[in-house]
Amino acid sequence: MIGVAPPAYDPAAPESATTLPVGTPTTVRSYVRSLLRRHRRAFTVLIAVNAVAVVASITGPYLLGGLVEDLSDGVTDLHLERTAAIFAVALVIQVVFTRSMRLRGAMLGEEMLADLREDFLVRSVGLPPGVLERAGTGDLLSRITTDIDRLANAMREAVPQLAIGVVWAGLLLGALTVTAPPLALAVLIALPVLIVGCRWYFRRAPSAYRSEAAGYAAVAAMLAETVDAGRTVEAHRLGGRRVALSDRRIEEWTAWERYTLFLRSVLFPVINATYVTILGAVLLLGGWFVLEGWLTVGQLTTGALLAQMMVDPIGLILRWYDELQVAQVSLARLVGVRDIEPDAGDAEVGPDGRDVRADEVRFGYREGVDVLHQVSLDVAPGTRLALVGPSGAGKSTLGRLLAGIYAPRTGEVTLGGAELSRMTAERVREHVALVNQEHHVFVGSLRDNLRLAREGAEDAELWASLAAVDADGWAKALEKGLDTEVGSGGFALTPAQAQQIALARLVLADPHTLVLDEATSLLDPRAARHLERSLARVLEGRTVVAIAHRLHTAHDADVIAVVEDGRISELGSHDELVAAGGAYASLWRSWHG
Amino acid sequence: MQIRDLPYSDPGDPDVRSGPRFLFWLGRNQLGGQLKSLSWGLLHQLGIAGLPVTVGLAVQAVIDRSGGRLALAGGLIVALGVLIAVGDTMLHRTAVTNWITAAARVQQLLARKTAELGSALTRRVAAGEVVAVSTGDVEKIGWFVEALSRFAAAATALVVISVGLAVYLPSLGLVVALAMPVLALAVLPLLPRATRRADEQREKAGKATELASDTVAGLRVLRGIGGEELFLGRYRRASQEVRRAAVRSARMWALISAVQVLLPGLLLISLVWYGATLARDGRIDVGQLVTVYSAATLMLFPLRHFEEIAMAYSFSRPSAQRAVRVLSLHRSAQEATVEGVTPTGDLYDPATGLMAPRGQFTAVVCGDPDEAGRLADRLGGHAETGDEDDQAAAAAPSVLLGGVALDEIPLDAARAAVLVQDKDPVLLSGTLRELLDVPSSGLVTADAALEAAQCADVLSALAQASADNDGDPMRTRITERGRSLSGGQRQRLALARSLVTDPEALVLDEPTSAVDSHTEARVAAGIAKLRQGRTTVAFASSPLLLDAADRVVLVHEGTVVAVENHRDLLRTEPRYRAVVTRETDDEAAAANAVNGVGDVPAPKSDDVPAMKSIEEIEERA
């Protein structure tokens, strides 16, 4: 085989632009610096311990070299007991410090890793809600799983091992220089091959490994999707096609495996040649020097054995340098989250009153494409407002603006006279809460799942909130009650129950204004209406903006706004709109028969 | 097998009786690769073993002041260097090839098994378990397969070197030969504990990752309502627990590496002492002493393979066990007894009496949504029940299509005849064109189906998101499970896909539950128009959809109780009215009082209807 070109298809190439930023080299560097600063002491100790272990390990070759010298000079009194005693002491030191070096290396790596992952999560939970809505959580999710995983190896092993390897190689080289300066030159002969070979390799390897890893992940992802979509695959008779797709992913992945194998097929001979060149050069040059009388036999022996020991640190450095290169990309993705502008809110801005107003609001997700056109709306405190209209008309967008998640492009959305977009997320949610179709149940106890809305809430309050959303029945039936573990891997709640949990949180958080975006769409329709009525009793006097699929929600509201094409086309109570005979009226008639 | 020839055209029929048997089956299938790897490994190890000889030769040559022998030693080093480089590279190539071919084979087996099991899979094992085999276990199985030949080569080389040393220099060689087994086996007793701790660490790390991803997945909820500190604190605790477990695990590995320094060190001290005495007495050459010392240090590398293979096996055996658990699953559905039939005609379920006449649009209303799901499943035939409680359901007579029992024809033929779209259909990733490219009659175009399902807004959303910016929605990728689309949009795309298929009979379970009322009326009309003259069954409770059907069937507690059109049923059947118009209790009570119908539907086990009747009583009082 002469060479393998990198495969044309690169599974690591982003399918669509990543939604969140990736760290620039400058941010990554400054982060790494701060990480190293935080662990400066541990690093220093690790290197010191390492140095002691290496120096102790050099004792053997020295002693043997001395013996060889004496033997070849025909000395009969070798002081063997003394030599053995020194060797034994050195061995004990080496054993103790090797153990300590491994342990400290691991501890340091683990601490840095823990710092890194905790830092990342702290940053993530501080992201502005608007960024999350826009970017979705998928990208963030892949960063916290895949990238942290990849970094784990690097932090746990690569960083400490590389530090060890570099110190080790340096000390050996130093020892060689001290023993016999000319022999150090012999080592340098091997350097050009190593440098050229490694440059070639490391220029190609990191991206190739990234692609290989992405290719392998794609194989697993394909399988995961087939498993997840089992019913759909069977119903549409897609089994054969899924198998063919899986085979294609395997082909793509193995093509990259083949390429990286080729890269290593170049690197391995280079490394082997380096070892052998070092050893050969030390022996031949050294032998010649001895014959010329510039060196002693003992120096030669020690030098040859030290050269032989170089195998270890060089292997270590090459082995982990690879890993570090791959990890760099993951690190950039994690650190990238730091580049996102934090919440721009002003802690001083707060509402005065409960009036919700939208004034001549225009808004769009993309430049030049507005979803809402000059929408004005005034919601008096305590009003129950229903937004109805066809999909894509902008109901949910309007809801998010009213909940302060997005800022309008022009015009303003105010609560109690203060602009929502100028308040911090923490301030906004004291007053306004948004519940949408996304009903996440967290891994943990039912109690934790509720308490997040009001930390330190008593059990009685939690039960009351469950009762308010008709959920106390099934919750009481749970064997462990509030201690029941729910969420992924725990007790599986139905989507309807999850939605009730989301609403119970709302009851606990008790904001005076609520935006419900199809908050009951997953419940059985009759249960949904029942729940809405129970909820209405609890929320008496609160302002509620409900985005409704179902007309009964609208029917129960004080005011209905029909949203069409980003504008409010009809506004009034149920009876008024039915009497007016517009779009709402005709819909109601076909609905109610 | 070369990597470039992957994937296998047929990954074979694995031995799934047990984990070790599966590993053995994998090994047997790549015997050639294992032997190749073993040979190259042997060459590599022996090449390295030759180096000490040259070192000794060179030192002795210098002592004897012989330039010629020094040059000979140099020539030998070059030759050995070539041998080592070729051996090492080829060993790596063949061993990695073994790994990859084994991993690819297992992945292919998994893909075939999951495709075969379809809907039955997740009823037997958790989805996560299957995926974990693919993401984690395959790698461990591959590791063992790869390590096996390297270990065999190292072990063989060690024996050869020990024997060689014993012959070359019996006095010192015997010392080394005797010490080798001790060095090889010394750390093995420590390994079980070390791997157990490593497992604990991995498990904790897995939990922490789960917590983190769970927190991120629910981040919008957290940011919207609070509780970030609660979850951060929880994650910090988990993260610190991982750190502690990792350090605990590292303690064992540090101990192991200390032992690996100590024992060879003791051997080297003995060699130096004993060897120097021998050399002083002139019984061996100084060069020979250096050779043995150097050989002893180099033998540490093949020794590491004992540790590696023990670990690889302890990790891969449970992995193989898990893989076998998935690969040994089978569908429980009965074997086909009737072949080569393409049934057509009325769709009839003898168990409930549900009849969907050929060519008509039948809507079915069930009081209990779960019952609707089960009934929809039944209508497709070959329903997977999975758990024993459903024995009764499994024993129920098969649904008939045109008089042919669907359970008795092959699964694929049954699925081709009747397409059941469940409540939560999955949008497979790919472009819109790929999504709609499903086995079909070819009579319904993608455009027609998209139009009938009212997907115009989906198309414009996709066109906007189009990465290439040519604005072609058909070429836009739909993100995983369609997450970038709203619930209603996803539902309409799934409906369009089912309409494209154009099966003899189409069964839809709540196809518009997430669609807003405005659009729903249009979707219902679209279905009715597109499926004109084809058999369609829709389970629904929305009047907008029911109104579009030719006939509506009311199923109550497992039996058909009324068949009529929507408007008539609404007038005459209070149970129907109760389900469909979502009247609340007071309204129902009022209606009942007016119509003089005494009973609301008998309360079922859920709480909601039970509470209804209580409230109703209060209301009346």
Is B290 part of a structural domain of the chain? no
Q: What is the pLDDT of residue A521?
A: 65
CA distance B24 to chain A (A): 23
Q: Do A443 and B273 touch (CB under 8 A)?
A: no
How large is the average pLDDT for residues A400-406?
86
Nearest-CA residue of chain A relative to B465?
A: A16
Last residue of a domain, one of B295, B328, B361: B328
Q: What is the pLDDT of residue B94?
A: 94
Is A348 part of a structural domain of the chain? no
* CA-CA-CA-CA torsion sign (B474, B479, B482, B483): negative
Question: Closest to B265 (Cβ–Cβ): which among A91, A118, A455?
Answer: A91
- Residue A121 with chain B: CB contacts under 8 Å: 212, 215-216, 232, 235
Question: Closest to B272 (Cβ–Cβ): which among A57, A64, A426?
Answer: A64
Domain that holds residue B508: 347-582
Same domain flag for B370 and B230: no
Q: What is the pLDDT of residue B205?
A: 83
- Residue B516 with chain A: CB contacts under 8 Å: 388-391, 548-549
Q: What is the pLDDT of residue B593?
A: 47
Q: What is the pLDDT of residue B124?
A: 73
Same domain flag for A272 and A301: yes
Same domain flag for B136 and B195: no
Q: What is the DSSP string of A86-137?
A: HHHHHHHHHHHHHHHHHHHHHHHHHHHHHHHHHHHHHHHHTS-HHHHHHH-S
Q: What is the tens place of the pLDDT at every residue in B569-586?
A: 888 888 888 777 765 555
Q: What is the pLDDT of residue A137?
A: 67
Percent with pLDDT over 90 in chain B: 27
Same domain flag for B378 and B500: yes
pLDDT above 70: residue B619 = no
Q: Does B584 touch chain A (CB under 8 A)?
A: yes
pLDDT above 70: residue B594 = no
Give dist(CA B441, CA B418) in Å, integer: 12
Q: What is the pLDDT of residue B523?
A: 92
Q: Do B62 and A426 touch (CB under 8 A)?
A: no
Q: Does B263 touch chain A (CB under 8 A)?
A: no
Q: What is the DSSP string of B457-515?
A: HHHHHHHHH-SSSS--GGGSEEPGGGTTS-HHHHHHHHHHHHHHH--SEEEEESTTTTS
Amino acid at A494: T
Is A3 part of a structural domain of the chain? no
Q: What is the pLDDT of residue A487?
A: 79
Q: What is the pLDDT of residue B611?
A: 35
Domain count for chain B: 3
Give dist(CA B384, CA B283) in Å, integer: 82
Same domain flag for B524 and B443: yes
Same domain flag for B98 and B1: yes
Range ranked top by mean pLDDT from A317-321, B184-188, B525-529, B609-613: B525-529
Q: Do B487 and A521 touch (CB under 8 A)?
A: yes
Is B97 part of a structural domain of the chain? yes
* Residue in A89, A145, A297, A301 to test binding to B, most B beta-carbons within 10 Å: A301
Q: Does A499 touch chain B (CB under 8 A)?
A: no
CA distance A185 to chain B (A): 17
Write the CATH number for B13: 1.20.1560.10
How large is the average pLDDT for residues B253-270?
89
Question: Closest to A95 (Cβ–Cβ): which among B71, B92, B258?
Answer: B258
* Residue in B261, B332, B419 to test binding to A, most A beta-carbons within 10 Å: B261
Q: Do B243 and A277 touch (CB under 8 A)?
A: no
Q: What is the pLDDT of residue A524?
A: 65
Is B7 part of a structural domain of the chain? yes
The tokens for A75 are 């000395």
Same domain flag for A256 and A367: no
Same domain flag for B120 and B227: no
Same domain flag for B132 and B219: no
Is B276 part of a structural domain of the chain? yes
Give dist(CA A556, CA B301) in Å, integer: 79
Q: Does B75 touch chain A (CB under 8 A)?
A: no
Question: Closest to B211 (Cβ–Cβ): which among A443, A452, A473?
Answer: A443
Is A7 part of a structural domain of the chain? no
**Do residues A545 and A563 make contact, with C-beta atoms less than 8 angstroms apart?**
no
How large is the average pLDDT for residues B305-332?
85
Is A477 part of a structural domain of the chain? yes
Cβ pairs bridging A and B (under 8 Å): 500
- Average pLDDT for chain A: 84
Same domain flag for A315 and A211: yes
Same domain flag for B399 and B540: yes
Question: Closest to A80 (Cβ–Cβ): which among B277, B544, B584?
Answer: B277
CA distance A242 to chain B (A): 7
Give dist(CA A274, CA A268) in Å, integer: 10
Q: Does B533 touch chain A (CB under 8 A)?
A: no
Q: What is the tens place of the pLDDT at every residue in B31-56?
A: 999 999 999 999 998 888 888 888 88
Question: Closest to B131 (Cβ–Cβ): which among A87, A141, A223?
Answer: A223
Same domain flag for A240 and A100: yes
Same domain flag for B424 and B322: no
Q: What is the pLDDT of residue A38?
A: 92
End-to-end CA distance of chain A: 77
Higher-pLDDT residue of B190 and A142 is: B190
Q: Do B219 and A140 touch (CB under 8 A)?
A: yes
pLDDT above 50: residue B598 = no
For residues A55, A57, A62, A68, the Cα torsion angle rounded to the nearest 10 degrees is: 180
**Do residues A461 and A508 make contact, with C-beta atoms less than 8 angstroms apart?**
yes
Write the CATH number for A111: 1.20.1560.10
Q: What is the pLDDT of residue B604?
A: 37
Q: Does A39 touch chain B (CB under 8 A)?
A: no
Is B108 part of a structural domain of the chain? yes
Same domain flag for B35 and B118: yes
Amino acid at A55: V
Q: Does A146 touch chain B (CB under 8 A)?
A: no
pLDDT above 50: residue B609 = no
**Do residues B481 and B426 make contact, with C-beta atoms less than 8 angstroms apart?**
yes
Domain count for chain A: 2
Same domain flag for A545 and A469: yes
Q: What is the pLDDT of residue B388?
A: 44
CA distance B289 to chain A (A): 9
- Residue A462 with chain B: CB contacts under 8 Å: none
- The partner residues of B354 in beta bridges, in order of sequence, read B349
Q: Does A474 touch chain B (CB under 8 A)?
A: yes
Q: Do B227 and A455 touch (CB under 8 A)?
A: yes
* Residue in A131, A232, A584 to test binding to B, most B beta-carbons within 10 Å: A232
pLDDT above 50: residue A40 = yes
Question: Closest to B111 (Cβ–Cβ): which among A113, A243, A288?
Answer: A243
Is B558 part of a structural domain of the chain? yes
Write the CATH number for B517: 3.40.50.300
Is B241 part of a structural domain of the chain? yes
Question: Closest to A593 (Cβ–Cβ): which among B219, B298, B543?
Answer: B543
Give dist(CA A526, CA A505) in Å, integer: 22
Same domain flag for A306 and A390: no
- Average pLDDT for chain B: 83
How large is the average pLDDT for residues A552-557?
81
Same domain flag for A294 and A368: no
Same domain flag for A324 and A428: no
Q: Does B376 touch chain A (CB under 8 A)?
A: no
Question: Closest to B118 (Cβ–Cβ): which among A234, A451, A530?
Answer: A234
Looking at A253-257, B466-470, B556-560, which range is the least confident one? B466-470
Closest CA to A506 of A561, A429, A438: A429
Q: Do A237 and B122 touch (CB under 8 A)?
A: no
Percent with pLDDT over 90 in chain A: 17
Same domain flag for B11 and B108: yes
Question: Closest to B219 (Cβ–Cβ): which among A124, A251, A443?
Answer: A124
Is B621 part of a structural domain of the chain? no
Residues in B 442-461 with any Cβ partner in A closer than 8 A? 457, 460-461
Same domain flag for A30 and A134: yes
pLDDT above 50: residue B180 = yes
Same domain flag for A285 and A326: yes
Question: Closest to A529 (Cβ–Cβ): which among B122, B289, B582?
Answer: B582
Question: Closest to B293 (Cβ–Cβ): which among A64, A132, A144?
Answer: A64
Same domain flag for A70 and A213: yes
CA distance B261 to chain A (A): 6
Amino acid at B204: K
For residues B511, B515, B518, B522, the Cα torsion angle rounded to the nearest 10 degrees is: -30
Q: What is the pLDDT of residue B36?
A: 95
Is A262 part of a structural domain of the chain? yes
CA distance A376 to chain B (A): 23
Same domain flag for B408 and B537: yes
Q: Do B223 and A84 touch (CB under 8 A)?
A: no
Nearest-CA residue of chain A relative to B110?
A: A223
Q: Do B261 and A91 touch (CB under 8 A)?
A: yes
Residues in A 343-362 with any Cβ partner in B closer than 8 A? none
- Residue B222 with chain A: CB contacts under 8 Å: 125, 452
Is A540 part of a structural domain of the chain? yes
Q: Do A593 and B258 touch (CB under 8 A)?
A: no
Is A203 part of a structural domain of the chain? yes
CA distance B420 to chain A (A): 6
Is A18 part of a structural domain of the chain? no
- Residue B438 with chain A: CB contacts under 8 Å: 236-238
Q: What is the pLDDT of residue A317?
A: 82
Same domain flag for A265 and A299: yes
Write the CATH number for A440: 3.40.50.300
Q: What is the pLDDT of residue A214?
A: 82
pLDDT above 70: residue B612 = no
Q: Do B253 and A425 touch (CB under 8 A)?
A: no
Q: What is the DSSP string of B426-443?
A: ---SEEHHHHH--S--S-
Domain that holds residue A265: 25-339
Q: What is the tens place of the pLDDT at every residue in A208-248?
A: 887 888 888 888 888 888 888 888 999 999 999 999 999 99
Closest CA to A216 of B515, B285, B472, B104: B104
